[in-house]
Amino acid sequence: MPYCQNCGTPVAQDAKYCPACGTKLERRITEEFSIAANELIKRVEELIHEGNVTRIIVKDEGGKTLLEIPATVGIVGAILAPWLAALGVIAALVTRCRIVVERRVE
């Protein structure tokens, strides 16, 4: 059963709006892949520039969440800099990691 991205209320599969908060519901898909830590920053930058990515989650090999980046449409420059600095620290501490990418389906 899907949930509202705004309030977390369970919603019907074919619902277009959340019955609790009224937020318009977007269909989203999730994909996950493994990557070497030295390629982490480059890959995250590529994902953000794709445009349909709504969230990026970086996990260690054990599945523990290390960083969660809300990738809104207008994220660039100074807004992106702190996230990239955090990714640099993660890349220095781990050898491999997993990236979970949440995309908007249009």
DSSP 37: G
- Give the span between the Cα atoms of 62 and 44, in whole angstroms: 20
Confidence of residue 78 (pLDDT cuts 50, 70, 90): low
Has residue 95 got a pLDDT over 70?
Answer: yes
* CA pseudo-torsion sign 16, 20, 22, 23: negative
The top-level CATH class assigned to 27-105 is alpha beta
Q: Where are the alpha helices (DSSP H) in the chain?
A: 40-50, 77-93
pTM of the model: 0.68
Please report, for the chain, the start and end positions of each structural domain, with discontinuous segments joined by +.
27-105
Distance between CA atoms of 51 and 76, rounded to whole angstroms? 11
Predicted pLDDT of residue 81: 67
**What average pLDDT does the segment 54-60 reach?**
86
- In this prediction, residue 77 carries a pLDDT of 53
What is the model's pLDDT at position 32? Answer: 92
